[in-house]
Amino acid sequence: MPFRLHKFVIIVLIAVVFCFWTTSTRAQTITPTPTAGNGFYFDQTEDMVNNGESYEKLDILFIPFNISEEFYSELRYQIIYSDGQVVQNMCGDTQARGLFRVEPFSSNQQKFNIKYSVKALDFDYFNCSFYGSDPFSTKPIMTCDWDKLRENIPFETDIITILSKDFRTLADKNIIMFGDLASADPNTPVNYGFVHEFGHAFGGLTDEYTYILSWSCNDSGCYYTYPPDRCVDSEDPNCFIETEKEISYIPNEDVVGCPKWCEDYDKDKLNELSQECAAFDNMQECITRPRHCIWFKQKHPWFNANCVPRSLVVDIGINCKSQCILDQHYQHLGFSPDCSEGGMMSNRVGDFNPISENHLSLALECCYPPGGSIECRDFSDKFKLVPDVNPYFKFAYDKFANCFDNSSTTTPTPTVIGDADGDGDVDIEDYIIWVNNYNQSTSNGANVGDFNQSGIVDGVDYIIWLNNFPSS
């Protein structure tokens, strides 16, 4: 072989070896692969956390989309185990942590199984598409045929999480699309975004963002440019009851807010605020003068007035572990803007608020595996008759409705006035039973909210409950 040709062959071989070396050591994007012979697309998975039988555990599956194996591994670890990332938000410096560093999940790690798929999501096979965006994200929203995706997982899975950089982070029923790592808010940490969306997908929690209450006034009067509550402008006498029915199922949302949840709230302070607002008999004075009042066309049943208090700054109690306030949007529970308390479902990071944390704790206790206590029975019963008002949250509520194991529990007879569930006190669960049976004829008495045994669940029974709430 001539020297020149020999030299050329050596150079080619070196180039091939170098190309192979750089390709094999460089992080590569995980590519989709065809379905296996068993018919399931996601047939290749590895365990990240394994605590035993799937039917007793909360099962999470991670699926990659258009990301490298190295980043896929790093991201999985970060959103589950991160000990804390210091970020600055509206409350100052705070710690954003992974799922297993936030309560109640930190104390219940043994209730989880977590797997990750070796295969990437196939965009075409699952009929995926991108559309739109919003001010909170720099990336589009991705949607796929989620039913087809669920059918291609050969084992029970409670929460499915798609990991990528290519789409906006959000939850769609039990699917978390976790992307948009360069969000419109540079202070939003990766692990906070996952835990927040997990609150939606697993717990059926709603957002707790607050919004600016805006109105306009002209010669004809004043009006809200964005009504903070649908009953504000309603003349339907059943609006409050229907709204209460609709949102009473959402664990961290309520028309009245903290007064129904914080047993030791400052009643004198709330009464002072109520009297100040109630003194105004027209909308213009109500919403422009005190700045902490809101106007309803009909009298609000809780305050028995058209002009009622709402405030972001007035502390009316601390029994819920954090300051209890009336929220800006008025249909949410209100907690003080403290990053260490109640910020997880808003944009303040921190922890879940105490009401949300209690709900998530009960979901874990009563559903993984199903429990048979009276507390679990009450928890499950609360979700049995949820109307089809929010399909995204109802997906979680239907699961909770079937958690209770009734093999060892009997329904007690209520002995305390206003106590519908027979647990010995008058609390929010009794109110929910009354709401669920409102305006219905019955012979079941206090068990269904007919506290005066009149044969119908009506407003009189509500007053009985209210006069005895809270008691123990």
**Dihedral angle at the C-alpha atoms of 53, 59, 60, 61, nearest 10 degrees?**
60
Whole-angstrom distance, CA of residue 180 vs CA of residue 95:
20
> Can you list the alpha helix ranges (DSSP code H) found in 329-445?
354-367, 374-381, 391-401, 428-436
Tokens for 459? 């407003």
Residue 12's H or E segment, with its range, is helix 3-25
Q: What is the band of 14 on the pLDDT scale with cuts at 50, 70, 90? A: very low
pLDDT band of residue 72 (cuts 50, 70, 90) is: very high
State phi, psi for 175 to the nearest 5 degrees: -105, 125
Least reliable range by pLDDT among 160-174, 220-234, 429-443, 454-468: 220-234
Backbone Cα Rg of the chain: 27
188: left (phi over 0), alpha (psi -120 to 50) or beta: beta
Helix H or strand E segment including 93? strand 92-96
Bridge partners of 217, per DSSP, are: 222
Report the mean per-residue pLDDT for the chain. 77
Q: What single-letter amino acid sits at 435?
A: V
Render pLDDT for 319-369 as a digit per residue (tens, 0 to 9): 565 555 544 444 444 555 444 555 688 766 678 877 788 899 999 999 999
Q: What is residue 70's three-state secondary structure?
A: helix
Q: How much is the pLDDT for 107?
A: 96
Domain boundaries, given as residue ranges, for the chain: 45-201, 215-341, 357-467
Separation between Cα atoms, residue 323 and residue 313, nearest integer Å: 10
Average pLDDT in the 457-463 region? 82
Is the per-residue pLDDT at 190 higher than 70? no
pLDDT at residue 67, rounded to an integer: 92
Question: Could you give the dihedral angle defined by the CA atoms of residues 98, 103, 105 and 108, in that order, rounded to the nearest 10 degrees?
Answer: 140
Q: How confident is the model at residue 313 (pLDDT cuts 50, 70, 90)?
A: low
Q: What is the pTM of this model?
A: 0.73
Read off the pLDDT of each residue in 280-296 and give the average, rounded to a whole number: 83
- Which CATH homologous superfamily contains domain 45-201? Collagenase (Catalytic Domain) (3.40.390.10)
Chain segment 164-185, per-residue pLDDT in tens = 988 888 898 999 998 865 444 4
- What would the mean pLDDT of 223-237 be, rounded to a whole number? 77
Mean pLDDT of 257-270: 69
| 163-172, 383-392, 438-447: segment of lowest average pLDDT | 383-392
CA distance 276 to 237: 25
- 196-210, 300-314, 315-329 — most confident range: 196-210
DSSP codes joined into one string, 156-204: --SEEEEE-SSS--EEETTEEEE--SS-SSTT--HHHHHHHHHHHHTT-
